Amino acid sequence: GESVGLHLPTLSVQEGDNSIINCAYSNSASDYFIWYKQESGKGPQFIIDIRSNMDKRQGQRVTVLLNKTVKHLSLQIAATQPGDSAVYFCAEKGTGRRALTFGSGTRLQVQP
């Protein structure tokens, strides 16, 4: 069945380092991908998205890379800050579907 999963449940980085959070998906029909950040007790917050006709998209300090060949998505955070500490979810949506399917999340811990 369709699934979106993450490779690492917890990622610990030093402040100032770059972070890379990975995500694998199984649905070949997925055409839209999105990363969310969720802080404790809060709802998911949009970070960046990418459509399947692209392989890279950059935002402010964040970059999303999409490799459709191996069904892999990554989120890169440059110069990670303590405020980046949160759980990060990837999500995907396939053509004709309205709802996003989420993975189980990676917790990012930024050490000062």
CB of residue 15 vs other proteins: minimum separation in angstroms?
25
The single residue among 32, 72, 74, 94 that binds other proteins, judged by CB under 8 A, is 32
Place of tokens 């999105």: 34
- Of the candidates 3, 46, 47, the residue with the CA atom closest to the CA atom of residue 25: 3
Integer Cα distance of 87 and 21 in angstroms: 10
Across the chain, the runs of DSSP E, i.e. the strands, are 4-6, 10-14, 19-25, 30-38, 45-51, 56-58, 62-67, 72-77, 86-94, 101-102, 106-111
Q: What is the nearest approach in angstroms of other proteins to the Cβ of residue 32?
A: 6
Near other proteins by CB under 8 A: residue from 11, 34, 64, 110: 34
Question: Residues 54-73: x/- map of binding to other proteins (CB under 8 A)?
Answer: --------------------
89 binds other proteins (CB under 8 A): yes
Which spans of this chain sit near other proteins (rule: CB under 8 A)?
A: 4, 32, 34, 36, 41-46, 49, 89, 91, 93, 98-105
